[in-house]
Amino acid sequence: MATLLAAADGNCISLFIIQHEVINIHQKLQAHLRLLEEMQRELRQENTFVQVCMEKLENMGGDVLVWSPWQGKITLMNQKNASLYSH
């Protein structure tokens, strides 16, 4: 009987440890999801910014330098070739 009770207690402790690990993994996944959602918002902002620049480029008919703060690069764009140079 004592062996059976010890086994039951051991199983409860094992289940508690597993539950704790599952909660930790769930919290980490939620944090990663929030980070991905923030990155998605930044990409949408950048895409909107690039679209506005391309519209201005079409209206001007010349070259435009586009600064991308999210990627930290400058791109030279023109009407014929959407991206001539990127640094």
According to DSSP, the residues that pair with 77 across neighbouring strands are 64
For 63, residues 6+ apart whose C-beta sits below 8 A from its C-beta are: 57, 76, 77, 78, 84
Distance between CA atoms of 21 and 27, rounded to whole angstroms? 10
pTM over 0.75: no
Instruction: Say if residue 77 is exposed, middle or buried (CB neighbours under 10 Å; 0-12, 13-18, 19+).
Output: buried
Of residues 22 and 50, the one with the higher pLDDT is: 22
pLDDT for 87: 41
Question: Model confidence over 7-48: pLDDT tens digits?
Answer: 556 566 677 778 888 888 999 999 999 999 999 988 888 878
